[in-house]
Amino acid sequence: MNINWYPGHMKKTKELLQENIKLVDLIIEVVDARVPYSSKNPDFDKLFRDKKRLIVLNKYDLSDPNMNKKWEDYYKSKGWSAVLYNSTNNKELRKLNNAIAEATKEIVERYKKRGFRNRTIKAMIVGIPNVGKSTLINSLAKRKSAKTGNMPGVTKGKQWIHLAGSIDLLDTPGILWPKFDDKESALNLAFTGAIKDDVLVLEEIALKFVIRMQQMGKEKVILERYGIEAGEKPLDILDNIAYKKGFLTNKRDIDYLRVANLLLIDFRAGKLGKITLEMP
Ligand SMILES: Nc1nc2c(ncn2[C@@H]2O[C@H](COP(=O)(O)OP(=O)(O)O)[C@@H](O)[C@H]2O)c(=O)[nH]1
Ligand SMILES: [Mg+2]
């Protein structure tokens, strides 16, 4: 993990979240649209229960359009608002602002009825590491760098970013910890790069990725990308990429680390196409 989530950190994170939740009307929960289940932490659902929630399926530029629709519908069926978003494309900003306005419509109405005409709606962004929280805050704030860090519990005073309409966004995201115990989720997060490569055996991750692609009936994408043939075993695919690319050490041993890097970097950059790794 790119965060040391030892129990003290977890406790601190939860306390900080609890404190911030009291201040806001809307929780904007960011997930990775390629792995919406694995990148969401249900531990926190209880904490957010009484708040209006907008799920941002971020990085939808990298995920399967058919699956995007399914996930969006799934979240809506749970009574949450949901929007597909690409934080790296400022042209989509209006879509997100509209989704926020839509999600907070009733709250605004309620405030008006109670006579608070100019009351701003307060929102905060939450999500596990690497889903794009900082990028999203920056895109909303229309600026290049948010003072964000991956260390939980290091906020120095709260700052609000004023957005379109009368929305104020807390400038520091709430960082949720990933699901550790679920092996399948951990693997999905390793594929997307949310779990730092240096604590993982990358060659193994790459092999598992090949197997996953085969299970999803998407092996062909890999074969076509590298101009290789399939073999009998999943490992043959890594071998064949190595031969094709000349990724050999001593001119004969396969450099699996190099193959793994290539394959995973290509997947993460969307070069294997738009792929979603799990279904609702
Ligand atoms: N393709 C794509 N990349 C994104 C998107 N949002 C964030 N990223 C990238 O994902 C990585 C992690 O983003 P970051 O904002 O640091 O995530 P955080 O840990 O949740 O704050 C960065 O390399 C971003 O450029 C998106 O919508 N599409
Ligand atoms: Mg960040």
The number of beta carbons lying within 10 Å of the beta carbon of residue 96 is: 23
Distances (CA, A) of 274 to 129, 221, 264, 270: 21, 11, 14, 6
Residue 182 lies in a domain: no
Cα atoms in the 13 Å half-sphere on the side-chain side of 110: 6
Residue 113 lies in a domain: yes
CA separation for the pair 67, 18 (Å, rounded): 33
Atom number, ligand 1, closest to the C-alpha of residue 85: 27
Give the 3-state secondary structure of residue 234.
Answer: helix
Do 161 and 213 belong to one domain? no
Query: 229 is in which domain, residue-wise?
Result: 201-268
CA separation for the pair 7, 166 (Å, rounded): 38
Do 67 and 115 belong to one domain? yes
Do 206 and 253 belong to one domain? yes
**φ/ψ of residue 174, rounded to 5:** -85, 120
Residue 242 lies in a domain: yes
Do 33 and 87 belong to one domain? yes
Ligand 1 centroid to Cα of residue 153, in Å, is 21
**φ/ψ of residue 268, rounded to 5:** -65, -30
Do 215 and 171 belong to one domain? no
What pLDDT score does 152 carry?
A: 44
Do 84 and 17 belong to one domain? yes
Residue 184 lies in a domain: no
Q: Is the C-beta atom of 139 inside 6 A of ligand 1?
A: no
Ligand nearest to the CA of 131: 1
Residue 70 lies in a domain: yes
What pLDDT score does 9 carry?
A: 82
Do 115 and 210 belong to one domain? no
Q: Is the C-beta atom of 127 inside 6 A of ligand 1?
A: yes
Ligand 2 centroid to Cα of residue 150, in Å, is 6
What contacts 54, CB < 8 A, 6 or more positions away?
26, 27, 28, 29, 80, 81, 82, 83, 99, 100, 103
Tokens of 50: 């009484």
Do 159 and 239 belong to one domain? no
Residue 41 lies in a domain: yes
Q: Is the C-beta atom of 39 inside 6 A of ligand 1?
A: no
Type of residue at 233 = K
Residue 280 lies in a domain: no
What pLDDT score does 156 carry?
A: 54
Give the 3-state secondary structure of residue 56.
Answer: strand
CATH number of the domain to which 226 belongs: 1.10.1580.10
Q: Is the C-beta atom of 58 inside 6 A of ligand 1?
A: yes
Three-class SS of 73-98:
HHHHHCCCEEEEECCCCHHHHHHHHH
Give the 3-state secondary structure of residue 232.
Answer: coil
Output the pTM of the full model.
0.92
Q: Is the C-beta atom of 61 inside 6 A of ligand 1?
A: yes
Domain count, the chain: 2
Do 50 and 163 belong to one domain? yes
CATH number of the domain to which 106 belongs: 3.40.50.300
Q: Give pLDDT tens digits along the chain (280 positions).
A: 445 677 788 888 899 999 999 999 999 999 999 999 999 998 899 999 999 999 999 999 999 999 999 999 999 999 999 999 999 999 999 999 999 999 999 999 999 899 987 888 999 999 999 999 999 999 888 765 555 444 444 445 678 998 877 889 998 899 898 887 888 999 999 999 988 766 678 999 999 999 999 999 999 999 999 999 999 999 999 999 999 999 999 888 999 999 999 999 999 999 999 999 999 9
Do 33 and 164 belong to one domain? yes
The DSSP element (H or E) to which 203 belongs, if any, is helix 202-215
First to last CA, the chain: 25
Residue 274 lies in a domain: no
Which residue shows structure tokens 């910890």?
Answer: 177
Judging by beta carbons within 10 Å of its beta carbon (0-12, 13-18, 19+), is residue 275 exposed, middle or buried? Answer: buried
Do 38 and 169 belong to one domain? yes
CB 132 within 8 A of CB 30: yes
Q: Is 132 left (phi over 0), alpha (psi -120 to 50) or beta?
A: left
Nearest Cα neighbor of 25 from 196, 136, 160 is 160
- How many residues can be counted in the chain? 280
Do 77 and 159 belong to one domain? yes
The DSSP element (H or E) to which 48 belongs, if any, is helix 45-48
